[in-house]
Amino acid sequence: MTGALQKLDDPGARELARDLLARAPRELLAVDDIDLAPALEQAIFAAFRAPPHRARALPTTFARVARAALDGLLPDAPMHGSDLLVVLLNSVHLQVFAPVRAALAEMAPNLRVGFVRVSRAAADTRAADLPRADRHLARRKIPALFRFASRRPRIEASLRDAWAPRVGAPAAGRLAGLAGDSLVRLGIEGLQLDAVLQAARPRVVATYDEINAYSRLLPVLADRHGAVCLDLPHAEAANPHAISGVRYDWMAVFGRRAAEVLATSGFPPDRVVEVGAARFETLLKRHAAAPDSPPRIVMAAQSETGPMTRQTRARILQIAVAAAAAVRPAVVQVRPHPVESAKAWVEIVSSAERQARVEVRIEEAELHELLPGAFALVTGWSNSVFEAVIAGVPAITAHVTPGAPVASFAAEGIALQATSENEAAAIAERLSDAAERGQVLSAARERLEPHLGPLDGQAAYRTAALIKRLSEPARASGSPRE
């Protein structure tokens, strides 16, 4: 987006996205009776928060549809019937779900659990033995998809006319082009998932997503097939404006803070269940290790999206390097975000090494493997601070955006905050003192429970109990949405 639309804050972006969809002719925003409007609203909201990009031209749209049709003919792992179907947007979610799956095996051994890969997970070879949604587009739906794509010019013209009074003709044209492109993509994904649900016939559909377009598309499809739709927590829900409008039947969250965020977003509080953070329980079972020698600074990278720009990521790395330089010889280990490859960091890391003369490595090991024995963790504002504190590693949040408020983790005492290289160096020197280090960790751990719920090792069982309850036939006979 350009001009005034690029300056929207999250509340403004949500209000405008919602208003634009209210003005749109809803009969044009569906394919095979699958309502794409909720997912389109989320795509538009995301566009206001991301760098501008050009919509695909109409010929490219038809090529995309043809590719989807061909993908549906390719062989795939079998799609068995299941009581619970877990939709994986990223292969890391399979690891996040592992403790819950183990708990389900104990509590409900006859519950059939199935998986399907979409989005980035579909192309990840690490989960190649699991079915892919893009291999299950029903042949009889392909003509409807081509007809939908052929209507894109008419859809865009209608949207442009409907939106021009609100945002002006130039912006309306750009938004309509983005919407037309997004609708075709959403139509493909909707028909693929529709075929998956038809084949699997689950009682419960679960996923880890509250802010992407899938979080709006999946509930529509689950309701269409009479299944209960459940969102599981992979991180702490933090942005009520990004979540606003989500339509899951139930949402599980880590703790009280996330439940409050969902309430602010407008999601019904009686459909929120605090289960704790099952993904962190393996760290609870380990004893905190003394820092390794030479010291290791682990940087938990965040994906390049919204305010986390390339420049911001480079500045955070500079903070991590400055901390390492203060306790030299030390090494910085950069753990790329799960949605990106190590290649995204090669140039940034090379530049940082040349400037500071500190060894910087790009690591593929999981964060849980890197944390034990680390001297400190550095990140922007990610949930990795929770993992660090549980593992007995002090967390440092790099506050490198001028004028931005203090990161909540630092304000609450869960993490220390560095706004400059000098502050990072001073923090590292402070953490070199064992007594100081112990005090920092003790204070941080005391403040975790509102975020993560009780750290009692039972989060996986609470999550499994919720799934078991929702999968009971009496509850799954129809969607409990009121």
Please calculate the CA angle 319-323-328 and round it to the nearest 5 degrees.
140
Residues 6+ apart with CB under 8 A from 436: 430
What is the chain's mean pLDDT, rounded? 89
Domain at 264, CATH number: 3.40.50
Which residues contact residue 348 at a Cβ distance below 8 angstroms, ignoring those fewer than 6 apart? 310, 313, 314, 317
Q: How confident is the model at residue 477, as a pLDDT?
A: 45
Q: Are residues 272 and 291 in the same domain?
A: no
Which of these three, 280, 311, 338, is where a domain ends?
A: 280
Whether residue 404 is predicted with pLDDT greater than 80 in this model: the reply is no
**Strand pairing report for 376-379 and 395-398:** parallel
Same domain, 233 and 300: no
The pLDDT tens digits for 28-77 are 999 999 999 999 999 999 988 776 667 777 778 889 999 999 999 898 88
Q: pLDDT over 90 for what percent of the chain?
A: 66
For residue 462, being part of any structural domain is answered with no
Indicate if the pLDDT at residue 473 is higher than 80: no
The answer to whether 224 and 194 have CB atoms below 8 angstroms apart is: yes
Residue type, 131: P
103-110 long-range contacts, CB within 8 A, separation 24+: 103/278, 103/460, 103/461, 103/463, 103/464, 104/464, 104/467, 104/468, 106/464, 107/461, 107/464, 107/465, 107/468, 108/464, 108/467, 108/468, 108/471
| Structure confidence at residue 402 (pLDDT) | 65
Overall average pLDDT of the 254-261 stretch: 95
Long-range own/partner contacts, residues 221-225 (CB < 8 A, 24 or more apart): 221/34, 221/190, 221/193, 221/194, 221/197, 222/197, 222/249, 222/479, 223/479, 223/481, 224/34, 224/194, 224/197, 225/194, 225/197, 225/198, 225/201
Task: Answer whether residue 419 shows pLDDT above 80.
Answer: yes
pLDDT digits (tens, 9 = 90+) for 335-369: 988 778 788 788 888 777 666 678 889 898 888 88
pLDDT tens readout for residues 70-120? 999 898 888 899 999 999 998 889 999 999 999 999 999 999 999 999 988
Tokens of 293: 């020698």
- Asked if residue 266 and residue 186 are part of one domain, the reply reads yes
pTM value is: 0.86
Residue 164 identity: A
- If asked whether residues 133 and 20 sit together in one domain, one would say yes
Q: What is the mean pLDDT of residues 1-11?
A: 67
Q: Indicate if 74 and 127 belong to the same structural domain.
A: yes
314 and 357 in a single domain? The answer is yes
Span 367-386, pLDDT tens digits: 888 999 999 999 998 889 99
d(CA 346, CA 365): 16
Q: Distance between CA 134 and CA 137 in Å, rounded?
A: 6
Answer yes or no: do 321 and 235 share one domain: no
Q: What percent of the chain has pLDDT over 70?
A: 93
- The CA distance from 88 to 91, in Å, is 6
pLDDT at 427: 96
Report the C-alpha gap between 248 and 269 in whole angstroms: 12
Tell me whether residue 157 is in a domain.
Answer: yes
125: which residues sit within 8 A by CB, 6+ positions away? none
In this structure, the chain runs to a length of 482
- How many CB atoms within 10 Å of residue 359? 15
In the prediction, which pLDDT does 474 show? 59
Cα end-to-end distance, the chain, whole Å: 36
Residue 372 contacts residue 296 (beta carbons within 8 Å): no
Map tokens 């803070």 to a residue: 257
Residue 333 in any domain: the answer is: yes
Same domain, 271 and 291: no
Which pLDDT belongs to residue 347?
80
What confidence category does residue 480 fall into, taking pLDDT thresholds of 50, 70 and 90?
A: very low
- CB 239 within 8 Å of CB 261: yes
Residues 318 and 262 in one domain: no
Distance CA 227, CA 220 (A): 10
Q: Alpha-carbon distance 126 to 383, whole Å?
A: 24
Q: Where among 246, 280, 314 does a domain terminate?
A: 280
Write the CATH number for 436. Answer: 3.40.50.2000
State which residues form the domain around 421.
286-452
Token representation of residue 254: 């880590």
Instruction: Report if residue 114 sits inside a domain.
Output: yes
Residues 290 and 165 in one domain: no
Structurally, the chain folds into a number of domains equal to: 2
Q: Is residue 296 domain-resident?
A: yes
Burial code (b: 16+ CB inside 10 Å, e: under 16) for 40-65 equals: bbbbbbbbbbeeeeebbebeebeebb
| 121-130, 156-165, 304-313, 397-406: least confident range | 397-406
- Residue 38 sits in the same domain as residue 99: yes
Report the distance separating Cα 244 and Cα 41, nearest Å.
11
Contact 389, 452 (CB under 8 A): no
Instruction: Give the contacts of 129 (CB within 8 A, at least 6 positions apart).
Output: 77
Q: With respect to residue 478, please indicate whether it lies within any of the assigned structural domains.
A: no
Q: Where are the beta strands (DSSP E) in 41-141?
A: 84-88, 113-117
Q: Are residues 271 and 308 in the same domain?
A: no
| Structural Rg of the chain based on CA atoms | 23
Q: Tell whether 461 is covered by a domain.
A: no
pLDDT value of position 287: 62
Q: How far is CA 226 from CA 8, 202, 327, 430, 471, in A?
A: 38, 9, 58, 57, 12
Res 2: pLDDT = 47
Average pLDDT over residues 298-304: 89
481 lies in some domain:
no
